[in-house]
Chains A and B, each alone.
Chain A
Amino acid sequence: MVMAVSPFPGTISIYDSASLTSRIRARRARGGARVLCAIVAVLAGVVLFVGWGMDVAAARGEATGSRSMAITTAVGLLLCALLTLGGVSRRRFVRPGSKRLGAGFLLCLALADLALLASPLQIGLDQFLFSFSGALAEVYMSPATATCLMLAAGCLLVRRRRGRFLNGDLYGLLVLAGLLVTTLALVGYAFDAESLYAVFVYTAMSLHTAVGFFLMFVALMLARPTWGWMFLVMGPGPGGATLRRTLPFVVLGPFAFCGLTLAAVEAGIFDVNFRLSLLAITMMSSLVGLLFWSAQRENADAKDIIAANAQLRRLLHERDVLLQEVYHRVKNNLQFIDAMLALEAMRGNDSPLDQRLAGIRSRLHAISLVHQKLISAQDLATVDLRSFLTDLCDQQGRGAGLDDRGISIDTSVDEIGLDLEQAVPIGLLVTELLSNAAKHAFPDGRAGRIEVVAKRIDGNRLQLSVSDNGVGLAGPAGDGGTVGSMIVRSLAAQLRAQTRRFGEDGFCIAFTIPLDKTPRS
C-alpha cells in the first residue's frame, strides 16, 4: 500500500492519488468561503448603512413583515465576515493578533447583550446603547442571535494545536452548533412555524439575520476544510466521496419536498392528512433506498478491494519470479566465469598463476553462494548468516582440501539476517581469511583447527572472528603487502569494521561490524 503524506497537516492519507484532488478541493472550499463572506458582509453592510444609517425600513427587513436586524447584530455580522475573509483571502489582510482582538470584541458584544437581557433591567444591548432619546429602542439582539455571534467569535478564536484534545474538532462543533441554531430559524420561516423563530424570546431571530448567520457558518466551515469533521467531507476516501454525493440531497431534498407539499395543501390539491402520509411514505422509501444503495456500494467496494488484493498478489509473485530469474542468471554467469578460469588453469603448469586463479574462483564461489541463499530466502532479500557461513566454510574447506590435510573448520554463528550489500563483503572476508589460514598457518603438513565465530553484540553490531591454532604471525599470515591482505583491508573499510589482530597462540583476526539496518533474525 502506498503511504503518502496528506496535504492536510496532522493527517496521513493512504489514498495517494487522491491527495492532489483533496488539495484542489480544499482550495476551492476556501474560495467558496471568500464568496460567502463577501455576501454576508454586503448583507450586513446594507442593513447597517441603508437600513439604519439612511433609515430605510425595507433594508432592515421590516417590509417583509419579519423582525428587523439590530444594529449590534449587523455590526457583529459585518465584523465577523471581514475577519473570516481576512483569514482566507490570499493576501491575508487581517493579522492573527487583530483577528483575535476582533473576535474578542464580538464575544464581549454578545456576552454584554446576554448579560443585560438576564439582568433585572431585561433590556438588550441595543436598547441600552441607543435609548438616549428617552424611549427604549424597539429592536435588539435576541439571545439566539447573541448565541450565534458567540459561536462565530469562538470559531475565530479557536486555534488548532498539535496533540491537543478537541484539536480542530472544537471548531467543527462550534460551526455545527451555529448551523443548527440558524437552520431551526430558517425552517421555521420556510414552513411558517413561528415557534421555531419567534414565540420564545430565546429563539427570536429575524429572517435575514438567520440567513446571514447561516451563510456565515457555512463560510466558517469552508474556511477550515481540514479541521475536525469538515475533513471527513472535504478529505479523500470513499466515506468523504459518499458524503459529498449524498449531503446535498439529504439537506435540500426534505426541505424542497416539504415546501412543495405545503404549497399543494395551501392550493387545495390535497389535505393535511394526505400530506403527512405522503411525507411518511417518502421518508420511509428514501431511507430504505439509501440503506440499499449504501449496502450495494459497500459490496462493490469490497469487490474492488478483493480485486486489488488479487492484483497485488499477482504482481508480488511476478516480482519474486523475476528476482529468482535474476539471481539464477547471476549464478549461471558466475559458473560460466568459473568454468573459463578453471579451463585456463588446466591448460598450463604455472603453479603461481594456478594459485591466483584458484583464489579468484573461491571468491566467485562465495559471491555465488550469497545468491544461492537469496533464492532460497523467503523474502528473496535476506541471507541467513548462520546458514551462509556454515556452507561457505564447508565449500572453502572442500575446495582447499583441508580434510585431507587434517585441518578442521569449526563454526559458531548467530542467526542474523543480512542483505546482499553486507552478505557479499562478509562472505569475501571469511573466504580470504580461510584461504590465508589454509595457505600459511599450517606449513609442513601440520594439522590444526580454524574457527569462524560470528555473534551479535549490543543489538546492532556483529562480532566476526577467524582464528587458527597454526604458526601465528611467525608465518606469512601477518604480511600486509599481498592482494589478499589488501582485499581484507578494503572489505573491512567497506563494512566500516573495527579490526583487531592477535597472534600469540596461532592467529586471530576480529572485526566489529555495525549492522546499519535492524538485524532480522
Chain B
Amino acid sequence: MQTTPKVLIVEDEQIIAEYFRVIVESAGYEVCGIALSADEAVKLARENDPALIFMDVRLQGEKDGVDAAFEIHRHKPVPTVYVTGSTEPETQQRIKADHPADILIKPVLSEQLLDALKRFCPQP
C-alpha cells in the first residue's frame, strides 16, 4: 500500500503557513503539521516522521529554524528546504552548515514550492 508523503511546515506566520499548506496539499501531499516554534517543530518531526520540511528561520521563541533543523537531523536526516527572508551572511552561513536541500527566499512563488516538492520528495 502506498502512503502519501508527509510534509512538515515550520513557519511562525500562520497565514503564510496556511498558504504553504494549500499549495502542498493541492500537489497531493499530506501536511503532517504546522509548527510555529523550534520546539514544536522538533516534536512534530519526531512524532510524524515527515519526508520533507519547509523551514522558516525566524520563529517564535528563543530558538530559530536552524537550531530546530540541527536537532531534528541529530535523530534522523530529513530533506529540509529553508524558506526565509533572512539573507544576511551570518544566517546564510548557519543554514549552509546544516546542508539544506534548498534555500528559497521569501516571498516564494507557488511554483518554487511545487518544484521543491518534486525534487526532494517525489510522489511514489
**Chain B residues, Cβ within 8 Å of A368:** 106-107
Residue among A324, A332, A336, A375 with max Cβ neighbours from chain B (10 Å) = A332
Q: Are B85 and A343 in contact (CB under 8 A)?
A: no
Whether a CB of chain A sits under 8 angstroms from the CB of B109 is yes
Q: Choose one: B13, B86, B105; the contact of A336 (CB below 8 Å).
A: B13
A398 at the interface (CB under 8 A from B): yes
Q: Give the most central of A328, A335, A364, A368: most B CB within 10 Å.
A: A335
Question: Quick one: CB contact mask for A349-377 with B, threshold 8 Å, 1 for yes?
Answer: 00000000000000011001000100110
Q: Is the CB of B15 within 8 A of A343?
A: yes
Contact with B along A319-340 (1 / 0, CB 8 A): 0000010001001101110111
Give the CA-CA distance A401 to B115 in the complex, in Å.
12
Complex interface: chain A residues within 8 A of B111 (CB): 398-399, 401
In the complex, what residue of chain B is closest to A340 when comparing beta carbons? B15
- In the complex, the number of residue pairs spanning A and B with C-beta atoms less than 8 Å apart equals 61
B87 touches A376 (CB 8 A): yes
Asked if A395 lies at the interface with its beta carbon under 8 angstroms from chain B, I say yes
CB contacts (< 8 Å) of A324 on chain B: these are 88
A-side contacts of B88, CB under 8 Å: 324, 375-376
Could you tell me how many residues of chain B have their Cβ less than 8 Å away from some Cβ of chain A? 21
Whether A267 is near chain B, meaning CB under 8 Å from some CB there, is no
User: Residue on B with the closest CB to A342?
Assistant: B19
A438 to B19, CA, bound (A): 25
- Of all chain B residues, which has the CB nearest A362? B109
Please determine whether B110 and A332 come into contact, CB atoms closer than 8 angstroms. Answer: no
**Complexed CA–CA distance, A231 and B19 (Å):** 69
CB of A81 to closest CB in B, whole Å: 70
Bound form: Cα–Cα A78–B13 in Å? 86
Contact indicator A339/B16 (Cβ below 8 Å): yes
The answer to whether B15 touches A339 (Cβ under 8 A) is: yes
Q: Is A1 an interface residue (CB 8 A)?
A: no
**A346: Cβ under 8 A from any B Cβ:** yes
Decide: A332 near B85, CB < 8 A? Known: A346-B22, A364-B107, A399-B109. yes
Q: Does B18 contact A (CB under 8 A)?
A: yes
Interface residue B112 (Cβ < 8 Å from any Cβ of A): yes
**Interface pair A332/B109, CB less than 8 Å apart:** no
Residue with the highest number of chain A CB atoms closer than 10 Å, among B18, B105, B108: B105
Known: A375-B87, A376-B87, A398-B112. A343 touches B18 (CB 8 A): yes
Q: 8 Å CB contacts to A: which residues of B68-124?
A: 85-88, 105-112
User: A365 and B109: CB pair below 8 A?
Assistant: yes
Q: Are A372 and B19 in contact, CB atoms less than 8 angstroms apart?
A: no
For B112, the chain A residues whose CB sits under 8 A away are 398
Q: When A343-B18, A343-B19 are in contact, do A335 and B109 touch as well, CB less than 8 Å? A: no
Return the contact of A398 from the options B18, B22, B23, B109 (Cβ within 8 A). B109
Contacts of A339 in B (CB 8 A): 13, 15-16, 18-19, 107
CB distance from A365 to the nearest CB of B (A): 6
Chain B neighbourhood of A376, CB < 8 A: 87-88
- Scoring B22, B26, B86, B87 by chain A CB atoms within 10 A of each residue's CB, the highest score goes to B87
Distance of A376 Cα from B22 Cα, bound (Å): 30
Chain A's nearest CB lies how many Å from the CB of B122?
A: 19
Task: Give the residues in chain A near B105, CB-CB below 8 Å.
Answer: 372
Shortest CB-to-CB span from A193 to chain B, Å, is 75
**A372: B residues at CB distance < 8 A:** 85, 87, 105
Pair A335/B110 contact, Cβ less than 8 Å: no
In whole angstroms, how far apart are the Cα atoms of A395 and B15 in the complex? 22
| Complex interface: chain A residues within 8 A of B87 (CB) | 372, 375-376
* Given A339-B16, A340-B15, A372-B87, A331 and B107 contact (CB-CB distance below 8 Å): yes
With a cutoff of 8 Å between Cβ atoms, the chain B residues found around residue A375 in the complex are: 87-88
Nearest-Cβ distance from residue B17 to partner chain A, whole angstroms: 8
Chain A residue numbers with a CB within 8 Å of B58 are 328, 332
Residue ID in chain B nearest A391 by CB atoms: B105
A335 and B22 contact, CB distance less than 8 A: no
Chain B contacts for A331, CB-based, 8 A:
85, 106-107
In the assembly, what is the distance between CA of A398 and CA of B16, in Å?
Answer: 20
CB <8 Å contact, B86 and A335 = no
- The interface residues of chain B lying within 8 Å CB-to-CB of A338 are 19, 107
Residue of A nearest to B20 (CB): A339
Counting from the closest, the 4 A-B pairs by CB-CB distance are A339-B19, A335-B107, A331-B85, A335-B106
Known: A342-B19, A375-B87. 15 other contacts (CB 8 A): A332-B13, A332-B58, A335-B13, A335-B106, A336-B13, A336-B15, A338-B19, A339-B15, A339-B16, A342-B110, A346-B26, A364-B107, A375-B88, A395-B109, A398-B111
**10 sample A-B contacts, Cβ–Cβ < 8 Å, listed by A number:** A334-B106, A336-B15, A336-B16, A338-B19, A339-B18, A342-B19, A343-B15, A375-B87, A376-B87, A401-B111
